[in-house]
Every structure is written in C-alpha cells, then in structure tokens.
Amino acid sequence: MFASLSNHRHCLVFHAHFSPMSISYISPLLLPNPRHNLPFTSSLLSSSQSLPLSSLNSSCFRSVSRLPAKIRKPITPFCSPDPNCMMESEGADHVLSQEWVSHARAYWVEKFLIAWDINDDQASLYLYSSINANLSLSDQGIEGYDFKIALEPDACGLPVTVTQKFPHISSYQAFRVPSSTNVEELLKCQLAVASYNVDGTLKTCTGLQLPGVLDDMFAYSGSLGATFTKETISLNLWAPTAQEVTVCFYEGPTGDPKEHVKMEEINGVWSTVGPRDWEGRYYTYEITVFHPSTSRVEKCQANDPYARGLSSDGKRTWLVDIRSEELKPNGWDGLANEKPHLGSFADISIYELHIRDFSASDSTVDPDFRGRYRAFTCKDSAGIKHLRKLSEAGLSHVHLLPSYQFGGVDDNSSNWSHPADYTVLAALPPDSDEQQAQITAIQDKDGYNWGYNPVLWGVPKGSYATNPDGSSRILEFRQMIQALNRIGLRVVLDVVYNHLYASGPFDDCSVLDKIVPGYYLRRNKDGDIENSSCINNTASEHLMVERLILDDLLCWAVDYKVDGFRFDLMGHIMKHTMVKAKDMLQSLTKDKDGVDGSKIYLYGEGWDFGEVAKNQRGINASQFNISGTGIGSFNDRIRDAVLGGSPFGNPLQQGFVTGLSLEPNGYDQGGKSNTDIMLSGSADHIQVGLAGNLRDFVLICHRGEAMKGSELMTYGGDPIGYAKQPTETINYVSAHDNETLFDIISLKTPFELSIEDRCRMNHVASSIVALSQGIPFFHAGDELLRSKSLDRDSYNSGDWFNRLDFTYETNNWGVGLPPKEKNEHNWPLIKPRLANPSFKPNKSHILAALRNFTDLLKIRYSSPLFRLSSANSIQERVHFHNTGPLWVPGVIAMSIEDEHGGKPGISQLDPMYSFIVVVFNASPDVVSMEIPALKSKTLQLHPVQLNSADDFVKKAKYEAESGHFSIPERTTAVFVQWREFPV
C-alpha cells in the first residue's frame, strides 16, 4: 500500500479514507471445550513444590471497527471492549468481567522473568495456568487453575536486552518466576497473572503476552517447512505453544484427508519424516493450541507457513520440491548470466505495474493468458512491444504489484463474476454513476485486487496462473521473470510483510496466528492486535517473524531469481530486519546460489506512523532511520511539491507543476503573496529532490540563504532531505495509490485549461522525476496519460477503472464516476470534468506523451551525469541557478558538471558531455532569463530533443555571449556541452 504521511499537516493518514464496518461480538467461552480432552502428563514444577491449581485466559484481541483501503474483508469478530459486557462461563456459578477477558497487559519476556506495569509493593503476585483453559473469576479470586506460582519482584528491573527489544514497556516492573518451574509446558497453557492486596483480596489480574519468552527459549535456526532428500521428505513446524500437531494428508486438492501423521516436538519444533512418495500430496497441519482470541483450546487447520505450493482454494499446502527440473523453464539455471546489465544501483529506473492490468484488456494476448503470468511470454503482444520500447529507451526495472498468495480474489477463475456487458458500460455517459454501481456490485467476486492482503508470502498467486492447482503457478511465474529479463528488464517483487489478511483460529486465510497464536502479530499494551498498517500488523522485532521474512526473501531471490524487492509500509518493519535482508541478499553469488546478489536492490515506504512511530517499538525502517543503509525509500517531498498539497488534502491544492500562484484554479490557498512564497518553497523542495534528496546537499534557498537539505523543512516541520546517498531516494510523483498523474493534474488545474496544456504539465512532472539524481519511479501508464476516471483508490475497482491500453487508442478517461465508497465526497468536482469532452485526450495526445517520455529516458541514459552514485559527487557537480528572492517564478535551472579544461577536483565520467544544463519551465509562459554563471558555455540542445517530435522543446534557445536562455512554456529543455562537436 502506498500510505504516506502528510508532511504539510504533520499527521498520519492512510492512502485512502477509512470507512466503518459493523461488528458483532462473540463471547468467549472459558470452560474447556469438550472436544479437547488432552493429556498433559509432564510436571510443570519440581516435585518439591506443592501448589494449588489455577490460571487465566490470555488476551482477547478486539476486532477493529475500521479498515483502510485495499482491505475490504469482514474480520472474525473478537471480544467487545464494552466494560459492561459480562460473559457467563458455561456450567459455572460466576460471571467473568470483560476487563479480565479482553486484556493481556503483562509480558513474559525471558524464561524466568515477567514484566507488568504494577506499582504496589505490598501486593502479592501469582502466575496461573490451565491446560484446558478453565480459568475463571469468582468472589474468592481466580478459579479453575492447574498451577498457581508465586512471583517475586526483581530489584534489578528489566535488563537492557529486554528494554531494547520492547522499549514500550521499559518502565514496567520485573518479576521472577521460580527457576524450578517447567516453563516449556507452562507456555502451552492458558495463562494469567494476578495481584492480591495484603488482606488476600484480588486487586487486579490480566493475561500475558509471550513473544519475549518464546524468543528467549525457542528461537530456532534449523530447517523449517519441507526438506527433500533422495529417499525422504521431512516436515518441520515451529509451534512452541502447541499441545499437539498432526499432519493431515490429502490425495488431491479436494476431498477428505486420507492419512493423519502425528508430529513429535523437540524444543518447540514439531517434526516428522516420511518417504519421498509424499511429494505431490496436499496437506495441512492440525494444531491443538490455546488461542487467546476465543479463550479456548482450539484445533486449528493451517497451511504450512513455508508452503511453496497450494491448492486452488488456498486451503491446502502442495508438497512440492520447487528445485525439481520439471518446474524450470528451458534455460532457467543459466538466467543469471542473461540478466540485463546493471552497472550500479544509480542506473536503476522503475516502472510499477500490476500483473492483471498489463494484459487483461489486451486483445493481442492469447485469451487464456490475459491477466496472467504467461501474458509476459507473448512476444508480439501490444503490451510486450510497449515494454520493449521502454527498455530500449533505458528503463531498467519492472516493479510488479503483489504476486504472492493474497486474499480477496478466488484462484479459480471459473468462480469469478463479471459485469453484464462491457459494451453497455461503454455506451453510458462518461459521468454516469451506473458503471461504478455495476463494478462494485461484483468487486469482491471478480478477478481483480491489487493484492495487499497477504495470506502466504512464499507462494505465487494462483489466480495469475492458467491452472491454480499443481505446478503451473511456479513454472509460469518463472517464465514471466525470464521473459522480462530477456527484453532487458529486471523484476522487482512487491512484498507485504507488515501485516496479514486474517487472524484467529477459524478464518481460512489465517495461517500464522493459528500456529503460534499471539506471536506473529504485534499487540498493544492491552494485548489487542495493532492495526495501524491496515490490519493484523506483524512484529518483525520477534525473532521468528524476522526469520520467516528473511527465509521468504531468500526463496524469491534464489528460487525465482527476483532482482529486487519493494517493501510495503517498510517503516512498520524493524531496521535490523531490513539491514539483515540486504546483507543476506547481496551476499548471494552465481557460483553458490545461482544469482548475483550484489545486483539485488531493496526499497520501500518509510512512513513513520502508528505504534512504531518515533522508535516506540525499536528502531524502525523509517525514512530517517534507514538513511545510510543503502536501502531506498520513497520521497514524498518531491511528489507533494510538484503536484501540490498531499494526496490526503484538498484535491484542488496546487503545486509547482499544476499552476500554483501562476494559474490559480479558484481554490483559496491564502492570496497571491502567500502562494508566491509557497511556489518558491516548492522549488526548494524539488531542488533537494533533484539532488537525490540528500540531507547534506547545500543550495541557496528562496530566501537567499545557503542551507542543507536537512535544514529545509516541510510544512509539518520534518526535514526535506534525509538520504545519505542518492540510491536511498526513490523519486516519484504518482504510484498505484491515489489518482494517476494525469487525473490529479486534471483535478488541480483550472477548469478551462486546454487538454494540450494538461499534457504538457504531465510531461514536465515526469521530467522532474526522470532527470533527478537518485532512482526515478513511474506508475505504469504515466507515459500514456493514464486515467482511472479520477478514482483515488482503485485497489478493488476491477478491470474497468484500471484498464491499460497499449494500442494507445484511449487513456481510460471518462468511463463513469469512480466508485462511490472512496470518491463520492469528490463527485461534485469529478462529475463536471468527466462530462466535459475537452478533458479527454485523443490518440495523438497519448502518442506524443509516449514519445516525450521515451525521450526523457534516452536523455537520462545518455550520460552518467544524470546517475551519480555518491553524495560527494552530487555536491561537487550539481548546482542550481535562478535561486534566491529574485528568482523567475516557475523555473528551476540545474547544471551538472564533469571534468573540463583541467578543472581541479572533478574527474571525468562522461566521454561525450562535459557540462549539462536542465531548465524546467512549469510556467504558462515562455521564459527568457540570463544566468551569468553559465555564460560562455558551448551549450546545444540535447540531440534527443533536437530530433524530438515535440515542437515546443525545439524552440528552446541558449546564447553563450550573455548566458541567456529562452524556454517555451511548460517545457523541460536539456542543453549539453560536447567535448568534441559531432560531425
């Protein structure tokens, strides 16, 4: 998801508006489930201790009442937070208060150490356990326990290792568990701690959160998942709180289990070994475990977290050796030697593409392959021809939106619903609400979703395969990677490790929370699941969560030869996890691993919000923290300065390219003097972005002062520049979230503006990204004036609103009012624009935009000066002119210097050009300006632009004698100084 912080308002927001959903609550039953009569023979304590029997349920996770965009799925409801809610325990004479049920406010942090925020030195504290989840509360205190263990205060407090891992509980008191306690088996129980007043009356009690002690005792580095030898297959599952685990084998993707194999546990890992002919079977794990969301011991059916294959319904793991020869396309093992050349990460440019968008509407693709992996193997399709065109111009990477197993789309296409008739939709008025009504009526039953609903991270999504059962999804995913590499494009996989689609013991899409309940998901101080990243936030600060992430990345890199990873909401992942991932991946070698890991690039969304903000859960991978690691993060500063406002403010707020101050659209942004200042401030922000968004880059700001990038502030008070190296900056102005570039320009610009002017603005915005230092990032279709009919959040808007047309006949503008749920509040702005035919580009506009875009790529890759790889090199070579209080509004002039004439301190990088000047004129007028520092240069218009089909840019002029530039309106002109004039 492309959530972001609104720097102008200094508040956290998601990529789209929240909407309430109704929740009905379930009352957890607290007596043992009669189905679960489990043996428990091991002694929890040494025989020298004589203790009464007792214990409490752990936390009961609350359902969230709001869900951000991309996740539109009913959640299994949990306990009501209503303090008046009382729940009767089946067969008991007492009632249990909601306070008791819904919270886990104590933390078991090490084997013999518990942390609890309680400050009464006179209280007596006890730990309670019940193997069958019989804990209950009466007037006399806690009942139904098996064991009651006295806890002692630890005067030394929590150790540094604990407070560093869990900084949010650093002020808690520490309590010792007796060293004779059999903690291993106690952790398989329902647990609680309670404090008593000096007179023996119960003061307070709560459940426990267990990730700390599980990490302390059971962190594991051995084999997990399925391991294959010539004769055997072993299955290994990390589940230290499970009471029993059984493998259920199926002969096929449907039907009843044919065999049950009990697993044996050693140190929290459940294992079994079987014959090689297990291969090809389907299986699930049946885990008997106490689950805090129901306060019961449950039998959960779960997939293998290390699954590499799945059934078409996603409910069963397919036992497959993904390294078998039958699953490899021809030439697969040698693909590392065919990878497109990548000199350094500074040479990367990224094109963000959704797999289904790429071909679902492409009639030149085999109908069986449309919207699927195999569409990328159709060499003569319109889409492949388009990608090849971009590759030949210099584009290096395609970023694929999530393609792991996600929820929200049935893998079996025969189950999908479709609109009645697309021709009927096409005949409706462009501002009609009927199109969205028909699309949203089936949106949860069709084949479309962006895929930010993680179910299993390590399996390709079945709906993109021609056959979701068996080997197709593995083989065809590899064919896609191979096909893209062979047309010159490396592949980035969008990974979503910050949250899960489902939790609890019953949801078919819940996996990790069934296996070790309460461990994989991050919880707040009350024990409720954190939902700030969408829902079911994961906790990479827990060792086995981090390990699963690292193992998954390794699988995609080695077994699927993916060339890079984009991390969704990377700020919700710990920095140490990201650094370990980078070091692990970049250490891979062709000889040992079959891939060159030094070419694998990592980047993500470094937004700092929610429970992880300001390092509340440890040092997270936010924009500021990740600086210096070589991992990239998205630069929302340049986006907001170019377009205006933020994606979460008023859509009429204007920016540098959309007419701020120079072409007001009628929206009140504070009067002319205020908008002039805003425009000059936006230019400062953009210039920092053009210089790689480096924190130490020095420029002259609009006030005439020399300032570092980190000294210039957003309207919310955050530094503009934060990167230490240019390859840590991903510059962009549009992405899958929020409106497309063309659509947002159509909203922000004056209503009467011509379509030609809007197309010029689209080009100037793209040029700022394309010619910046750092790594440029483009949303698929930016180069085609792509429209989603002004939909600000098309994650589930179907093929109709997300259509990409590589025949260039249409940009998809005016296909109806966008879906009501996320856009209705803006329909009064949207409707008149869609209804006005002057807003719709024709094919000639689209082709011109494409030519201008490929020209930008060719210019970027014509000189290494546009792709400087170090901060020092940028500081000494990149300079900005037309700065300070006397600047010409709407114009940014940038020069990039190479060695020339024996200039000391600068080495030669470019064999052709010794000096480059780029002038971005976003104003509506031709600009004439003199830049004294650029007098006497032998500058010429770049040869790509001299030969361009764009008549505007050909009018750009430079006069050496005066340093005078004349730049047409809404034009980016590039001038070069040749070392030797071409013949």
Q: Which amino acid is at 241?
A: T
Going from the C-alpha of 516 to that of each of 3, 457, 513, 787, the distances in angstroms are 29, 17, 6, 44
Helix axes 543-559, 575-586, angle to 10 degrees: 30
Query: Residue 21's closest CA among 87, 67, 59?
Result: 67
Which amino acid belongs to residue 322? Answer: I
Q: 927 - beta bridge partners?
A: 967
Catalytic residue among 411, 526, 568, 855: 568
Tokens of 290: 């106490």
Q: Are the C-beta atoms of residues 526 and 565 closer than 8 Å to each other?
A: no
Cα→Cα distances 220→107, 506, 550, 554, 942, Å: 21, 27, 13, 17, 58
Burial level of 177, CB count in 10 A (0-12/13-18/19+)?
Answer: buried
C-alpha to C-alpha distances, 865 to 412, 861, 975, 976, nearest whole angstrom: 49, 9, 13, 11
Residue 238 tokens, joined = 């990390």
* Gap between the Cα atoms of 974 and 941, Å rounded: 6
Give burial (CB, 10 Å; 0-12/13-18/19+) of 271: middle
563 part of the active site? no
152 flagged as catalytic: no
Run of H or E residues at 891: strand 891-897
Count of Cβ atoms closer than 10 Å to residue 31 Cβ: 18
Cβ atoms of 335 and 485 within 8 Å: the answer is yes
Strand partners, 289: 298
CA-CA distances (angstroms) from residue 705 to 541, 719, 876?
A: 43, 16, 18
Q: Say which of 528, 605, 611, 684 is annotated catalytic.
A: 605
Residue 725 Cα distances to 545, 628, 642, 691, 870, angstroms: 29, 7, 22, 10, 6
Q: Round to the nearest angstrom and report the end-to-end CA distance of the chain.
A: 51
**Triad 690, 694, 699: Cα angle to 5°:** 70
Residues counted in the chain: 983
Return the closest-CA partner of residue 241 out of 267, 261, 223, 216: 267
Tell me how far apart the alpha carbons of residues 243 and 238 are, in angstroms, rounded to a whole number.
Answer: 12
Q: How far apart are CA 957 and CA 971, in angstroms?
A: 12
Distances (CA, A) of 98 to 102, 320, 528: 6, 46, 13
Number of helices followed by number of strands (H, E) in the chain: 24, 45
Site of tokens 């189905």: 35
Active site residues: 568, 605
